[in-house]
Amino acid sequence: MERIRGLRANASRMSHAELDASPDLDTGNPAELGREYAELKSRLRQLNVMGGCCGTDERHIERIATACLPLFR
């Protein structure tokens, strides 16, 4: 766990099969994703690269940054 420095999580909670079958991209919940990243950052102190994958946009990145910024001070 000490070697984990970066994460790129999907914004969606759907499985890969569900995403493949979906006519629309599920963007998930930006606030929830931000909170979950902050929880991970509190457990993984060396984590310093955070981003997103499927369904992630600027709303998600803003929430991740807002939730995690206090943990970098």
Extents of the domains making up the chain: 6-72
C-alpha to C-alpha distance for 3 and 7, rounded to whole angstroms: 12
pTM of the model: 0.86
C-alpha to C-alpha distance for 71 and 32, rounded to whole angstroms: 17
61 has pLDDT over 90? yes
22 dihedral zone (left: phi>0; alpha: psi -120 to 50; beta):
beta
38 has pLDDT over 90? yes
- The average confidence (pLDDT) of the chain is 93
Residue-level pLDDT at 39: 96
